[in-house]
Amino acid sequence: MAEPGHRLSARGRGTTERRTPWLLRLLLWAGTAFQVTQGTGPELHACKESEYHYEYTACDSTGSRWRVAVPHTPGLCTSLPDPVKGTECSFSCNAGEFLDMKDQSCKPCAEGRYSLGTGIRFDEWDELPHGFASLSANMELDDSAAESTGNCTSSKWVPQGDYIASNTDECTATLMYAVNLKQSGTVNFEYYYPDSSIIFEFFVQNDQCQPNADDSRWMKTTEKGWEFHSVELNRGNNVLYWRTTAFSVWSRVSKPVLTQLMYKWAKPKICSEDLEGAVKLPASGVKTSCPPCNPGFFKTSNSTCQPCPYGSYSNGSDCTHCPAGTEPAVGFEYKWWNTLPTNMETTVLSGINFEYKGMTGWEVAGDHIYTAAGASDNDFMILTLVVPGFRPPQSVMADTENKEVARITFVFETLCSVNCELYFMVGVNSRTNTPVETWKGSKGKQSYTYIIEENTTTSFTWAFQRTTFHEASRKYTNDVAKIYSINVTNVMNGVASYCRPCALEASDVGSSCTSCPAGYYIERDSGTCHSCPPNTILKAHQPYGVQACVPCGPGTKNNKIHSLCYNDCIFSRNTPTRTFNYNFSALANTVTLAGGPSFTSKGLKYFHHFTLSLCGNQGESGFSKSITAYVCQAVIIPPEVTGYKAGVSSQPVSLADRLIGVTTDMTLDGITSPAELFHPESLGIPDVIFFYRSNDVTQSCSSGRSTTIRVRCSPQKTVPGSLSLPGTCSDGTCDGCNFHFLWESAAACPLCSVADYHAIVSSCVAGIQKTTYVWREPKLCSGGISLPEQRVTICKTIDFWLKVGISAGTCTAILLTVLTCYFWKKNQKLEYKYSKLVMNATLKDCDLPAADSCAIMEGEDVEDDLIFTSKKSLFGKIKSFTSKRTPDGFDSVPLKTSSGGPDMDL
């Protein structure tokens, strides 16, 4: 808390030299200022109010603190006021106010003064302010490391009145400041950094010495004077670091290469060559031609190796300028071991008391470097390579999803008669090296690659131990480890062994290399940038040619900049009968799952805690930027074990860095999700499986970890549903490399479509008929379309249709009757005419007189009909009509005789 009288204005200026010092003006905006408690001196006189001031003690676990009186000069007075209960720890004054410690209340600043409230500002640099510390170290490691470190004692940050400046030599100078924030805050500072040959970095570490994930760690050079920089700080302890290093491979002259084969006794020499039977040291060999320098270096006239200037490359002989349309691929490539490179050191660490010994652990041997004998077989033979930082090629656009900053590749071999071990370790920001990989026993000549994902000062360490038995003897000196080559890419201030094609940009001075937009690859022949095709991503570290665009997996698509494949919670599955559409948006939020309890060898209980995120939105998470995985695993230690109010989470591990694909198949890209791990589904809807991979490669998981999430339709389980682990593998994995989860939810069902409902039509009531739509049972869909509303139509009742039927039947009967009479009448006329014709034909055959006319005159048929029909009844006529045709096919016609006698058939 700032008090009246503090000068808190920021003023400053910068100076420029041949190598300009780095300048700093700092404004720290914290949640609550820190307090320093001092002790009291021997009893003298009672302290006056002007001889002491008040401070707060540190807050306890309940958020309480005490106000105590602290003398300005310890030992001058006594009888200080008793401690009193202080204000709560979350209490703070606003800007423009200060905390009056006497009555513990906020009061406005006096006229002409101001206060930042919860912040504190440093702008007077006549001396190093309280709380700051300045350290120095030597990054140029060689055999005289202790002497070199001593030369760096004066290379520190020096206060210059209204600014503080760093050193300008090859030493590393670090300015540190620690602060404990009661709430989250920010740190703001101005800096002047015009010299790019000095490496300047700013980072923050928490109380676990873990740096924050800030992309702005490496500061940009200032082109227009002083520039402003701001970084957010988390609640709790924060340690601020400002570090500068003038590291360069040009800064030290390489030692002369060997020109003669020589033999020396291994140090320390623990044998006698004068005893009987002792082997004599072989004579030195004849002089031979010097082997070439390492790639990127050239040989001078005095047989020394010097780095080629930027823009050129070499194979170890002469430097050649990169052709137009190319750029140097800077890095370090060591394959000739005539001398130990200047950025490498070797030593021996005792395997018994873990103390460093003043002896060499690795020896150079022309085309390889190998482990020396050491003092005992269980000593660790240490080889360390330090890289100050990394810088991607100019033509490669920064990719937030492809975390690869650089990579280190080395070829090694171990020859062991016992169970030796070779460790490869990586250290970041001068922290303790972390083992990355271990090889036990004899290993044939092979290559290993490690991906570097953080742009910071990095150390690589190889440690070889012949045996783990604590014996101060040397029985296995013939067991050795050999390293043939080491290649580190994208090293800051590195050298180039070749030039790579780059994208060209036309300018007034000609064509120069430029970076392609995100998602574009470089065409080698033309040097132009081309966008990757749809549904592909640019994952290659060197994006040359369309083959650098990798297709996305099933159920995924590329984001706008072609940096990753993602699923937007939408999925479709086609079958011969229909298409099933899914929308998993209701499952997009992060969910957690705890495995069963486990116990350490001492009986302490812990849990494996999983955090899952099913799908994303083009890879841009809406959560904190610290979330970088789809699935994370952490170890939870319950409160009853730790003694705290809440459990402790530790050892976070990423199980799913990238999405491979979404499908209903059980295998994708070499990853299998066995169905027998979970209880079978019973609805006939296949599970939708999300496949993920992790780049976290370990010795047991040489291909990295993989994760599958089965999303199963369960209509009875409301959103978000339930997560479960395999019954046979309580921690989600049966082999430590492949993890499996089952997510059952109603939101995992297909979207409803017209095939999921049917219509029910009611009977006609009072001239109205209703059509109702209902879901098919069981309902196996969610969301999608809604049920159509009930439809009402006008209809006719059964009585109406009965009346219509009777009326229609009556009309039909009448019509049929009329037609029957009509055709009967018509038939009678035809029958009469036919009979006439038959009679005339009979008379002709019997020589009877011919008729005057064969036709029936108009009007004659009426009289004949009357005569004919009067002879028989209606029934008789019908009967006679049906019997007129005889079986032989002829008709029989009744004839009358002239005498009126009986009829006679002819």
DSSP helix/strand/coil, 422: strand
Dist CA 635 CA 626 (whole Å): 18
What is 570-749's CATH number? 2.70.130.10
Nearest alpha-carbon partner for 706 in 727, 689, 722: 689
Domain ranges of the chain: 52-108, 132-138+154-248, 329-493, 516-547, 570-749, 753-810
The token pair at 70 is 């602290």
Dist CA 310 CA 324 (whole Å): 14
CA torsion angle 674 677 682 688 (round to 10): -50
CB within 8 Å of 818: residues ≥ 6 apart: none
Dist CA 402 CA 538 (whole Å): 9
Q: How confident is the model at residue 383 (pLDDT cuts 50, 70, 90)?
A: very high
Dist CA 869 CA 882 (whole Å): 16
Q: What is the DSSP string of 371-410?
A: E---SSTT-EEEEEEEE--B---TTS---SS----EEEEE
Count of CB atoms within 10 A of residue 808's CB?
10
Dist CA 522 CA 589 (whole Å): 38
Q: Do the beta carbons of residue 750 and residue 574 sit within 8 Å? A: no
Give the pLDDT score at 142: 41
Per residue in 507-535, pLDDT (tens digit) is 554 556 777 777 888 887 777 888 899 99
- φ/ψ of 573, rounded to 5, equals -135, 125
Instruction: Give whichever of 176-185, 595-604, 616-625 has the largest mean pLDDT.
Output: 176-185
Residue 191, phi-psi category: left (phi > 0), alpha (psi -120 to 50), beta (remainder): beta
Choice among 270-284, 561-575, 719-733, 740-754 with the minimum mean pLDDT? 270-284
Radius of gyration of the chain, Cα coordinates, nearest whole angstrom: 50
Count of CB atoms within 10 A of residue 468's CB?
13
Per residue in 347-363, pLDDT (tens digit) is 888 877 777 777 888 99
Residue 700, phi-psi category: left (phi > 0), alpha (psi -120 to 50), beta (remainder): alpha
Q: Do the beta carbons of residue 226 and residue 192 sit within 8 Å? A: yes
Q: Is the pLDDT of residue 873 over 80?
A: no
Residue of 665 and 890 predicted with greater confidence: 665
- Architecture of the domain defined by 132-138+154-248: Sandwich (2.60)
Alpha carbon separation from 340 to 348, 369, 378, 386 (Å, rounded): 16, 9, 24, 13
Nearest alpha-carbon partner for 455 in 391, 395, 399, 539: 391
Q: Do the beta carbons of residue 181 and residue 424 sit within 8 Å? A: no
Choice among 52-66, 302-316, 482-496, 771-785 with the minimum mean pLDDT? 52-66
Nearest alpha-carbon partner for 114 in 100, 94, 95, 99: 95
642: enclosing H helix or E strand: helix 639-642
Chain centre to alpha carbon of residue 183: 30
DSSP helix/strand/coil, 693: strand
Chain centre to alpha carbon of residue 400: 10
* 132-138+154-248 shares its CATH topology with 329-493: yes
* CA quadruple 395, 398, 401, 403: dihedral sign: positive
Mean pLDDT, rounded, of the chain:
76
CB within 8 Å of 689: residues ≥ 6 apart: 662, 663, 664, 665, 666, 668, 673, 708, 709, 710, 711
Give the pLDDT score at 333: 92
Choice among 27-36, 132-141, 434-443, 469-478 with the minimum mean pLDDT? 27-36
Q: Do the beta carbons of residue 139 and residue 52 sit within 8 Å? A: no
Per residue in 290-345, pLDDT (tens digit) is 678 899 998 887 778 889 988 889 988 889 988 877 888 889 999 999 888 988 99
Dist CA 624 CA 662 (whole Å): 25
- Architecture of the domain defined by 329-493: Sandwich (2.60)
DSSP 8-state class, residue 748: G
The token pair at 71 is 């003398």
Q: What length is written for the chain? A: 906
Q: Is the pLDDT of residue 831 over 90?
A: no
Dist CA 1 CA 159 (whole Å): 24
Nearest-5° Cα angle at 782, 781 to 784 = 100
Per residue in 410-434, pLDDT (tens digit) is 999 999 988 899 999 998 875 567 7
Q: Is the pLDDT of residue 390 over 70?
A: yes
Dist CA 732 CA 612 (whole Å): 12
The token pair at 318 is 């002469």
Dist CA 178 CA 172 (whole Å): 19
The token pair at 759 is 């219509």
Secondary structure of 126-161 as H, E, C letters: CCCCCCEEEEEEECCCCCCHHHHHHHCCCCCCEECE
**Number of helices and strands (H, E) in the chain?**
5, 59
Q: Is the pLDDT of residue 199 over 90?
A: no
Per residue in 235-272, pLDDT (tens digit) is 778 888 888 876 443 333 333 333 655 667 766 676 78
Per residue in 107-116, pLDDT (tens digit) is 888 887 878 7
Chain centre to alpha carbon of residue 888: 104
Dist CA 762 CA 751 (whole Å): 28
Choice among 129-143, 181-195, 866-880 with the minimum mean pLDDT? 866-880
Dist CA 178 CA 233 (whole Å): 12
Mean pLDDT on 562-591: 89
